[in-house]
Amino acid sequence: MEKEKKNEFHLPEYYENRELSWLKFDARVLNEAKDKSIPLLERLKFVSITSSNLDEFFMVRVAGLIEQKAAGMDHVDAAGMNVEDQLRNIALSAHNQMKLKYRYFFALINELEKYAIRFFRVKDVTEDQRRELENYYQEMVFPVLTPMAVDAARPFPFLANKSLNIAVELRDQKGEQKIAFVQVPSVLPRFISLVGKEGERAYVFLEDLIMEHCQDLFKGLTIVDMVLFRITRDSDLEVEEDATQDLMKEIERSLRKRKRGAAVRLEINATDDKYLKDFLVKNLDLEPRDVYEIQGPLDLTFLNRFIDQPGMDQWKFTPYTGQQPEELPDYDDLFGKIREHDILLHHPYESFDPIVKLVAQAADDPQVLAIKQTLYRVSGNSPLVAALARAAENGKQVTALVELKARFDEENNIVWARRLEKAGCHVIYGLMGLKTHSKIILIVRKEEDGIKRYVHLGTGNYNDKTAKLYTDLGLLTANDQYGQDASAFFNVLSGYSEPPVFNKLVMAPIGLREKIYELVDREIAHVKAGGTGYIAAKMNSLIDQPVIRKFYEASQAGVKIDLIVRGICGLRPGIKGVSENITVRSIIGRFLEHSRVYYFANNGSEELYLSSADMMPRNLNDRVELLFPVERKAHIDRVKEFLDLCLKDNVGAHVMLANGTWRRAYPHGRKRISVQAAMMNRAKSHAPKKSMPMEQRLKPMVRKEE
């Protein structure tokens, strides 16, 4: 009987397709654009975010499915869908989402007009503005335009991924039809600001200005039709690790190849003339479902730059600055404070500065002998990289693992790797066939009582920019068992050391999956022994089928499971006899939920783990990840409070139903609870109060004259 039940866990109706689940996540993000409690420009930002998300989805996920189809692969996923099923359903969902996105976009643009912020067509501007545009075109635009003819001598040109282009249908004096392209220069701002009436902000799009002057580029010919379009290309990186002696050179070769990937999507302005559209579809080798006709400006990612213009703050969130961490009243002696006890950090509510300052202090500290750190995604001008380089220049042993295969950060990471090598750092690129996604720093320091190791472990990247936008947890510790584990971990990465038996850490791909199974099985055992079982887990994605089956098994045994999954979720909760003891919710908000937390009640002897890993095959099988325990009761209580707020959130939360659809959580007359707002308030109220400087305390108080 038990065997039959386990076999039932393979039924396709118990699973969500990965790609469609991701599109549902993007839809949840898009829905924030209609929430009137959110400032106007922040709502526009959600429109921009979904546009960027969808670009990457097509560049990687859809491109991969198209390649599978071309190769004749007909794999059926856990949800019972083959490749063609997935492509068909993706197209249907993406087309609907595109229509909704532009409905929200135009609604928000109309709202902006109430505040005298307007976008104009060139033909609708005033005479003074027209002259202003004419000057701008002649001085800035025309010199960088290059019309590209398409004929027998000049074949269909290569058009860059995500670039804006104008297709032009022409007739010569003999009446012969001709085709040409004009690329909208990406080196120029997408929107042009005009001098408007007092208090008015007026803008026109660069492509509209070019189209107004297109005739100047084709003298002696007649323009029959013009249409703006944008191509999305296959941009997944294919690296032949087994066949290369130099991973950096192989990555650079693959990056050049990426730029010329096959087209997977065509976005095009709606036009009554089908000729240009058909011409593009044929030459790009696309199917009709790959064509997205749009009535409005293409590529809404420009909204990010639009929103960030000066003078727009009144329509945005009140700026939030990460607070001084409650366990760090100052940064004067970070090593001393970490020696006292473990320190828990919660970003962006608490500042990321302690991590930056710790590495910076270590770089200049004569007692520090070595610094080792993993780098997956770093900021454009990373103070951490600068500190590591300075440490090496100061004669310290510095080892930096720079993950060259971090998707869409490859070029950036190559730059940093070369800078670090130049400074004298030992730079490594991880293990063959695996991405190193773990977040760990090890600092080795010579102290009076001998060698002391300081460790930072986190759920998020060492990126000081995204640390202000992503929610992540981190642990600072001088616990010697952590220190031993960290040393052993880096020895595995940098040498030929066999994977060790860790004291505290759990590492993927050689134990993390098994550890999760073990912890879930223990909750099952507690229930079977007459106790209670409870699991709360927060992650970005849950798609690993064996882990899902393990959660189903636990639910069936009577273990209560609360899942907080921001993005992809392949598990369906609330199915009678299978997952009726499981809830799934997703939280969308001002910050991107990024922390991974795994809590197990353990019949009263609770255990809490943080991790760099989501429950996905790639994290558990193909990446170097770390899972680590949080052991101080005060820290466990803090994280439990956070998880509890996530489960009570009725502002940014969405709840998954048994059929795979999502429902927004609303207060319905109850108190509004936003986990992100609550955590901001908590960080402010718990931040150490800075003492008044001595010169102010000694200053005499004088009563002001009324």
Q: Out of 437, 526, 594, 635, which one is annotated catalytic?
A: 437
User: Is 437 among the residues known to form the active site?
Assistant: yes
Nearest to 531 by CA among 619, 604, 607: 604
* Residue 616 to residue 660: CA distance in whole angstroms: 18
* Residue 328 to residue 338: CA distance in whole angstroms: 9
Nearest to 281 by CA among 265, 258, 296: 265
Nearest to 631 by CA among 390, 241, 342: 342
Asked if 267 contacts 292 with a C-beta cutoff of 8 angstroms, the reply is yes
- Residue whose token pair is 């010169």: 695
Asked if 170 contacts 221 with a C-beta cutoff of 8 angstroms, the reply is yes
Partnered with residue 630 across adjacent β-strands are 608
Q: Which tokens belong to 225? A: 């039709």
Residues 570-587 as b/e (b if ≥16 CB within 10 A, e otherwise) read: bbbbbbeebbebbbbbbb
- Report how far apart, in Å, the C-alpha atoms of 321 and of each of 244, 290, 352, 594, 677 are: 45, 43, 10, 18, 13
Q: Which tokens belong to 514? A: 């098994």
- Residue whose token pair is 């990321």: 352
Enumerate helices (H) and strands (E) in the chain, giving the number of each.
Answer: 22, 27
Pairing of strands 368-375, 582-587: unpaired
What's the first-to-final CA gap in the chain, in angstroms? 87
* Residue 40 to residue 61: CA distance in whole angstroms: 31
Query: Alpha helices, DSSP H only, in 9-114?
Result: 18-31, 40-56, 63-70, 83-113
The 3-state secondary structure of 269-314, one letter per residue: ECCCCHHHHHHHHHHHCCCHHHEEEECCCCCHHHHHHHHCCCCCHH
Count of CA atoms in the C-beta half-sphere (13 A) of 36: 2
DSSP E strands in 631-683: the ranges are 653-656, 662-664
SS3 666: coil
* Residue 9 to residue 546: CA distance in whole angstroms: 10
Residues that are catalytic: 437
